[in-house]
Chains A and B, each alone.
Chain A
Amino acid sequence: MIVKNFKLLFRNKESAYTIIFGPILIILLVSFAFMGASDEYTVNVGTYVPEVTDLSERTIKTLNKNNYLVSVYPTEETCVSSVESGSTHACLVFSQEESGDETVPITFYLDFSRTNIVYQLLDDLSAEVDIQADAIRSQLALSTLQRMETAAIIVEESYTTAKSAAEQLATISGNLEAARGALTNIPTRNENITDLRLLKGYHHGLAQNAKTISDLVNPIFDEARAALHAMETECGDCTEVVLNQAEAVEDKIEEAETEIYRITEETTDKQLQEADLLMRSLIGEVEILESTIRNATTSGVVITENVDASAADLDNNVRAVEQVVTKLAYAKDFLRGDDLDADTITTPISTSVVSITVTDDTLSFAYPYLLMLVIMFIGMLLSSMMVVTDKISQAAFRNFTTPTSNAFYVFISFLTAFILLAAEVIVMLGISSFFIAQPLFLNPLPTFTLISVAIVLFTFVGMIIGYLSNTQEAAMISSISLGSVLLFVSNLIIPIEGMTGLVQKLTALNPYIVLSELLKKSMLYGVTTGQIVQQLLVLAGLLVVLLFLTALIRQRMKKKYFKQDEPVLVKMHIPAPLRLGNTYVYGPVDLMATLDKMTREEFTELVQKPNNSIAQWVAKELRLKVLAHRLRTTSKEKMILRLDRYLKRHGKKLKR
Chain B
Amino acid sequence: MSGTVGTSVTAGVTARPADGAGPDRPPARRRSWRLGDMIVPVFAGLAFIYLMVPIAYTVAFSFNVPGRTNLLWRGFTLENWQNPCGAPQVCQSLVNSLQVGLIATVVATTLGTLIALALVRYKFRGRTLANLLIFLPMSTPEVVLGAALLAQFLSLRVNPGFTTVVLAHTMFCISFVVVTVKARVASLDPKLEEAAADLYASSWQAFWRVTFPLLLPGIAAAALLAFSLSFDDFIITNFNSGNFTTFPKFVYVSATRGIPAQANVIGSAMFFLALLLVVTAQVVSVARRRRR
Is the A/B pair a real complex? no
